[in-house]
Structure 1
Amino acid sequence: MNEDQQSPSGPFEHPVVTMRNPGDMVDALPFLLGFFPSDSIVALGLQGPRRRQGGTVRIDIPDRSIWPEAAEEVARFLVALSEHRDRTPDAVILYLCRDPAPGQSGREVSEELRPLAALLAAAFREVGIPVHDSLCVSDGRWWSYSCENGTCCTEEGTPVERPGSTPAVAAAAAYAGIRVRGSLKELHRELEPVGTPTAEAQLRAFEEAIPVLVEELARRGGREAVRERTGELVDAAVARFRAGAQEVSPAEAARLVLGLQDRMARDRAAEWLDPPDVEHAQRLWLFLARRCAFPFDTQAAAPLSLLGWTAWVTGDQVTARVALGRALVADPDYTFAQLLYQAVNTGAEPQELCATLRDERRSRQRRGSSRGPGARGRTRRGRRGRCDGGVYRQ
C-alpha cells in the first residue's frame, strides 16, 4: 500500500483560496495533489480555526476485506505526518475517488464506497480528529457523505465542472503556475514496461548479459571492476542523451540495469543531480525502468528509484512519489526507495544528501587523477552513510 503526501505550503508561496462548500473542496483536490486521483483515498488535514491546509495522505483504495485496517492506517499516517511537520490536524476532509466499472454509475460507486467512508470517519474520531466533510468523486460528479437531507447535493450527484464557471482554485493555481499533470492512471502508464516486440528483444538481451556479468564477477577484483564499468557506461549514456540520443541498445540497457542492482554503482549514478545533466539522467532512468518487463520487472526498482531521486532533486514531487511508489511495488524491500519515499513524504529537503554526493564525486575524480589515466578497479572507501553491497542486492 502506497502513501503519498503533499506538504503544506507557506502562507506566501501561493494565493489563498477559500473553500466555502463541498464543490470548492472537489475543485481543489487535483491542484493539491498535482494530478487527478483515481481509485484513491485522500485525507486532507486542516489546521487552526481558519482550517488552513495541512498535510495530505493518498493511498490506493484496497480490497474490501482490509478496509478497516486501511482506514486506521490512513488516520495514523496523517497524524504522524502532521506531527512530524507541525502538529495534529484540527479536522480532516476525506475524498474517495473511483471510476465506475463498465455498466456502473457514479451514484452506485458512491454507495459502494459508503461503508469505507464510515470506517474512515470512525478511524479519525478514534484519534480525536473530526471529519469536516467526506466526499465521493466518480464519473465527473461528487456526493457528500456528510450531507444531511440533500441540502448540498442530490442523489444524481453534482457535476465537478459546472458549466459556465471557472473555479476560483483553478484561477489561483494558474496564477501561481501550478499545473495538473493528468490522472494518476496516466502517470502510472508513463512508467509501464514496454510491450512487444521491444520487450522480447530486451528479454533476450538480459538473458545474454547475465552469464557474461556472472563471469566478470567471478574474477579476482570482479565486483570492483563491474562497478567501475557500470559507472563508465552510465556516464557515457548520460553524455549521449545530452547530445540528443533517445535510447540505448537492448544489450547496453540490460548491462546498465543489471549493474545498477549494486548499491554502490547505483549511488554513483545518483551523483547526476545537477543541471543541465540531471534532466538527461532522468530520461535515461525512465528509459531503463521501462525496459524491465517480466521476468525482470523486480530489477526496475533501481532505475525507478533513481528517477524518483532526480525528480525530488528538481522539485517534481509528483513524479518522485509515483516513481518511488512503483519502485516499492517492484521490490517492497528496496531500502533506497523506502528511504527516499519517506523523505519526500515527510517534507524533507534533498540539499544535505546532494552535498554529500557532490563531495563524493569530487573525491573520486581526485583519486582518479592521482592514479593517472586508465585507472580501473577503484575501490570506494569511507563513504558517509553508505554500505557495501553486491550486484542483485539493494
Structure 2
Amino acid sequence: MTDKLLLLDGPEGLVHLLPFLFEYHPENSVVLAGITPAGEPLGFLRTDLPADPGLWPSLAEELLDAHRDEAASFGYPTHRLVAYICPDPDDPNYGPRSRLTHQPIADCFRDACRRQGLVLGEAVYVTRTHYWPMLTTAPSGGHPIPEPPAELDPTGLPRSSDVLKSLAPVTGAQAAAMAATLDSAVRTLHAEIRSDGHQSVVDNAMDLVATTVAELAAGARQAKETPDDLAARLLLALQYDDVRNTALVHCEDHELPAANELWLALAHRCPAAYADHAAVPLALHAFTAWALGDDARSRLALQAAEACMPDQDLTRILLGMFNDGAAFEHLRAHLREHRAAWGIPVAD
C-alpha cells in the first residue's frame, strides 16, 4: 500500500483510493474497507466476485465477520465501512447493465451491516471508466472517474485481470501436448519410486531444481524455452514438500530473476487436468516477485495459487508473512542458513 497519507472526500475519493489499497486495480473483486471519521483508510479485505448470486448474502456476512475480527484484534476505533464491487471487464454486460445486475450485492452488505450493528457508508460500483454510488443515488449512467489528485495517480498500477491472465496456463494444442508429457512423466516417476525409493527420487529432484536455476541464472537459455519433458519433471518434483522448500533458497540477487521466470514458466505448463500442480510454482513466483519488489504481482500470484489449490501450505504461509509485513532480507537470512545446512551451493 502507498505510504502517502490518504484522506477521502466522498465517492470520488473512494474510487481514487481503491487501487492504492492493493497496489493494483482490483477487478472481478469485492473489497470491504474501513474508513475513520477523519477519512483515513482503516483495514481492508478483498475476495473474488462470485458469479452465482446465491452466494452474495453469505459473501457479505463472511467479509463483515472477517473485518470485525480484524478490527477487534488491532483495536480499530469507531469507523464506517465502504464496499467496492469491481466487475469482470470480460463480462459482456460490463458497465451500466452489469451494475444493475450486481445491485443486490450492495443490498446484501447494507442488510448484513444492520444485523451486525455496523455502519455501511456506501457501496461503490467501479468499472475502468465510471463509478456508481449504489446506496445513495438511483441507477444512472454513472459518473466518469475524474482525474485523480497527483498523490493518488494510479496510472502506473497494473490491473488485476491483466496480471491474472499472464499467470494463466496454456490452452488448446499446447495444453494437450503438455498433459500427455505429464502423464508420461508420472509413469516414469512411479517406476523410479518402485526402483529406487522415495528419498532417492526427492534427492534427485532437489539436484534438478538447483541445476535448472543455475543454468538459467548463467544465461544458458530463457525459462520459457524449458523443454516440456524437463518442465514436467520439475512440476512433479515440486509437489514434494522438501523439494518445494529447497526451491525457496534460490534467492540470491543473481538467481531471483531466473527463478522468478522459471516458476512462472512452470505454472504456464499446467493444463486443466494438472491445474492443482500450478499452486506451488505460482506461490514460488509470488515469493520471487515479492523479493524483486513487485508486491502487486506477488499478491495476485498468491490469489491464483489459492484458486488452483485452496489452503496450500506455501500459499498460506506466504500470505501470512505478507500480511504481517515481513521483510524479505530477514527471511533471506534464514533461507541462507538452511541452504548451507542442506549443502546447496551458490553458483556465481
Could you tell me how far 1:243 is from its partner in structure 2? 3.0
Q: Does 1:142 align with 2:131?
A: yes
Of 339, 343, 347 in structure 2, the residue corresponding to residue 365 of structure 1 is 343
| 1:100–1:106 CA contact under 8 A, matched in 2 | no
Of 232, 236, 239 in structure 1, the residue corresponding to residue 207 of structure 2 is 232
Q: Structure 1-normalised TM-score?
A: 0.78
Show the 5 A alignment for 1:203-222.
203-220=179-196, 222=197
Could you tell me how far 1:269 is from its partner in structure 2? 0.4
Tell me the SS of whatever aligns to 1:142. strand
| Equivalent residue, structure 1, for 2:118 | 129
Instruction: Encode CA deviations 1:219-248: one digit per residue, 9 max, x unaligned.
Output: 34x322222221222122212222332231
| Equivalent residue, structure 2, for 1:294 | 272
Of 298, 308, 316 in structure 2, the residue corresponding to residue 330 of structure 1 is 308
Q: Does 1:190 align with 2:166?
A: yes
Could you tell me how far 1:100 is from its partner in structure 2? 7.8
| Equivalent residue, structure 2, for 1:277 | 255
Tell me the SS of whatever aligns to 1:93. strand
User: 2: CA distance between counterparts of 1:77 and 1:346?
Assistant: 16
Q: Structure 2-normalised TM-score?
A: 0.88
Could you tell me how far 1:86 is from its partner in structure 2? 4.9
Give the stretch that moved more between structures: 288-297 or 270-279.
270-279
| 1:31–1:179 CA contact under 8 A, matched in 2 | no
Pair 352,218 (structure 1): closer, same or farther in 2 beyond 3 Å: farther
Matched residues, percent identical?
Answer: 28
Could you tell me how far 1:276 is from its partner in structure 2? 2.6
Give the stretch that moved more between structures: 50-59 or 351-360.
351-360
| 1:286–1:303 CA contact under 8 A, matched in 2 | yes
| 2:279–2:305 CA contact under 8 A, matched in 1 | yes
Show the 5 A alignment for 1:236-275.
236-244=211-219, 245-246=221-222, 247-275=225-253
Q: Does 1:39 align with 2:15?
A: no
User: 2: CA distance between counterparts of 1:336 and 1:322?
Assistant: 15
| Equivalent residue, structure 2, for 1:167 | 148
Of 157, 160, 173 in structure 1, the residue corresponding to residue 142 of structure 2 is 157
* Residue identity matched to 2:61: E
User: 2: CA distance between counterparts of 1:293 and 1:359?
Assistant: 36
| Equivalent residue, structure 2, for 1:387 | none
Could you tell me how far 1:191 is from its partner in structure 2? 0.8
* Residue identity matched to 1:187: V
Gap runs ≥5 in structure 2 = none
| 2:7–2:41 CA contact under 8 A, matched in 1 | no
User: 1: CA distance between counterparts of 2:209 and 2:79?
Assistant: 48
User: 2: CA distance between counterparts of 1:262 and 1:136?
Assistant: 43
Of 343, 354, 368 in structure 1, the residue corresponding to residue 332 of structure 2 is 354
User: 1: CA distance between counterparts of 2:259 and 2:125?
Assistant: 39
Pair 126,313 (structure 1): closer, same or farther in 2 beyond 3 Å: farther
User: 1: CA distance between counterparts of 2:241 and 2:102?
Assistant: 42
* Residue identity matched to 1:60: D
User: 1: CA distance between counterparts of 2:327 and 2:107?
Assistant: 36
| Equivalent residue, structure 1, for 2:99 | 110
Higher helix proportion (structure 1 or 2): 2
| 1:100–1:109 CA contact under 8 A, matched in 2 | no
Structure number with higher relative contact order (C-alpha < 8 Å, ≥ 6 residues apart): 1
| Equivalent residue, structure 2, for 1:375 | none
| Equivalent residue, structure 1, for 2:109 | 120
Give the number of equivalent residue pairs: 340
User: 1: CA distance between counterparts of 2:71 and 2:328?
Assistant: 20
User: 1: CA distance between counterparts of 2:73 and 2:247?
Assistant: 31
User: 2: CA distance between counterparts of 1:239 and 1:142?
Assistant: 48
Q: Larger Rg: 1 or 2?
A: 1
| 1:89–1:129 CA contact under 8 A, matched in 2 | no
Could you tell me how far 1:51 is from its partner in structure 2? 2.5
Pair 349,55 (structure 1): closer, same or farther in 2 beyond 3 Å: farther
Give the stretch that moved more between structures: 19-28 or 286-295.
19-28
* Residue identity matched to 2:44: T
Pair 240,337 (structure 1): closer, same or farther in 2 beyond 3 Å: same
User: 1: CA distance between counterparts of 2:6 and 2:320?
Assistant: 29
Of 200, 220, 223 in structure 1, the residue corresponding to residue 176 of structure 2 is 200
User: 1: CA distance between counterparts of 2:135 and 2:253?
Assistant: 48
Could you tell me how far 1:173 is from its partner in structure 2? 4.5
Tell me the SS of whatever aligns to 1:133. strand
Gap runs ≥5 in structure 1 = 1-5, 369-394
